[in-house]
Structure 1
Amino acid sequence: MQSKDLTGNGPRSTGGAVPSRREELLATAAEVFARQGYDATTVREIADAAGILAGSLYYHFDSKESILDEILSGFLDELWTGYDAVLGAGLGPRATLEALVVESFREIDRHHDAVAIYQRERHLAGQPRFGYLAESMHRFEHIWQGTLERGVAEGEFRADLDLRLAYRFVRDTVWVAASWYRPGGRHDAAEIARQYLGLLLDGIAAH
């Protein structure tokens, strides 16, 4: 099982490589969890969606909890790898915010179902096995609100911003996209990020 490496050193996507049977099963389980919810989903339903017997699923995973753990930790490993690359680039506050938004939409595109699960199952952060979810949420807030604070201090963002409110607005409007964005749709992740940043930073009024 993947380690929950939140320092950004976790494994990334293999790109064009043919997915393994394990990866296919994880993708199927993620789709079922995202659609039905974790608690409402049974191992048999995952197996049925994958076209195998329930007992065969246990050849790859020891429990439904292990499947969810691997889905979420894999998504977060990749997210933090991308975020850490942005933060290590030495960009100014506005450029950092823009790059974080772009990376976020990329991850929504790559891990659409995992993002939906992450949004829906946050209560699991209180369980010992999923404690890394709470750590990730805290780190996410620190990075995004810190970027906004730095932008105000350096004169790149408005001085009258309510930073807490601005952080919550940016956080929620980025990640809620998982509820309506579908990979392969009319707009790709890069275009969605471009449109979003235009609205966020320049507004909708004609100048």
Structure 2
Amino acid sequence: MKDSHVADDVTRAAVELFARQGYANTSVQQIVEAAGVTKGAMYHYFESKDDLLFGIYERLLTLQKAHLDAIIERGGSVDEVLRAVCIDVLETSIDYMEEGAVFFRSLNMLSAPRHQEVTRRRRAYHDEFAELISRGQAEGIYRADIPLAMLVAHFFSDVHYLSHWYSPEGPEDKTLVAEQITDLFLSSIRRMDADT
């Protein structure tokens, strides 16, 4: 096994074990045995089990933030940009659904500094997302009669609920699901008298 694959193998093993038996019930020994590595190899990449749990979600946060920045950088109308961002969040959340589900079930077990870091980074992402809606409100596209925070929460509640019903083995294609949820969200925040 190449050294560069160790972190990925450990992460994959941890996700599978955390999903099957829970974070608290999974030992570092079980993780390294499932990954086929030594504890020393694991500790080269992860300081602790807490660090590993944080790393699982950190990868998704980093990916989604990079995509958000790239989509905004490309430009376009606020409606086009927000639609592209929504679809990306949904597709990447489906791609990393097991990781997301494990993380949200175990979030309360993170150490206080890690919990604060996740909260900070998620808030930063949500703030950029909210700024897009705010721009649309200023342009008269999106409704302003509902607090901005509620509009943001409305979308992300759908994202976080995905793991409760979506199955990659099911008949729904991830892109179609992402587009349909996005269209429902955008329809719900669009002003009835806005030009489409």
Query: TM-score, normalization: structure 2?
Result: 0.78
Structure 1 match to 2:99: 114
Q: Could you tell me whether the CA contact under 8 Å between 1:101 and 1:174 is conserved in 2?
A: no
Pick one of 183, 186, 191 that aligns with 1:198: 183
Greater share of residues in helix:
2
Does the CA contact (< 8 Å) of 1:125 and 1:134 recur in 2? Answer: no
- The one of 160, 163, 167 equivalent to 1:178 is 163
Deviations 1:9-68 (A, max 9, x none): xxxxxxxxxx924312211211222344323322233345x264xx82442235322322
- 8 A Cα contact 1:125 1:131, kept in partner: no
1:60 aligns with 2:60: no
Residue of 87, 91, 112 corresponding to 2:76: 91
Q: Pick from 15, 27, 34 the counterpart of residue 12 of structure 2.
A: 27
Question: What is the identity, as a one-letter code, of the residue corresponding to 2:125?
Answer: F
Separation in 2, partners of 1:59, 1:25: 9
**Residues of 2 paired with 1:35 and 1:142: CA distance?**
34
Q: Percent identity?
A: 25
Query: How far did residue 170 of structure 1 move?
Result: 0.9
Structure 2: tracts of 5 or more residues without a match: 189-196
**What does residue range 1-207 of structure 1 map to in structure 2 within 5 Å?**
20-47=5-32, 50=34, 52=36, 56-61=38-43, 62-123=47-108, 127-202=112-187
The worse-fitting range, judged by mean Cα deviation, of 68-77 and 149-158 is 68-77
- Check 1:143–1:122 CA distance in 2 against 1; reply closer, same or farther (3 A cut): farther
Letter of the structure 1 residue corresponding to residue 126 of structure 2: E
Alignment partners' CA distance in 2, 1:107 and 1:200: 17
SS in 2 for 1:161: coil
Distance in 2, Cα, partners of 1:122 & 1:79: 19
**What CA distance in whole angstroms lies between the structure 1 residues aligned with 2:118 and 2:35?**
31
Compute the displacement of 1:76 (Å).
1.6
Whether the 8 Å CA contact 1:125–1:133 is kept in 2: the answer is no
1:139 Cα shift? 0.7
Secondary structure of 1:155's match? coil
Question: 5+ unaligned residues in a row in structure 1: which ranges?
Answer: 1-18
Distance in 2 separating the partners of 1:166 and 1:102: 16
Distance 2:49 2:159 in 1: 29
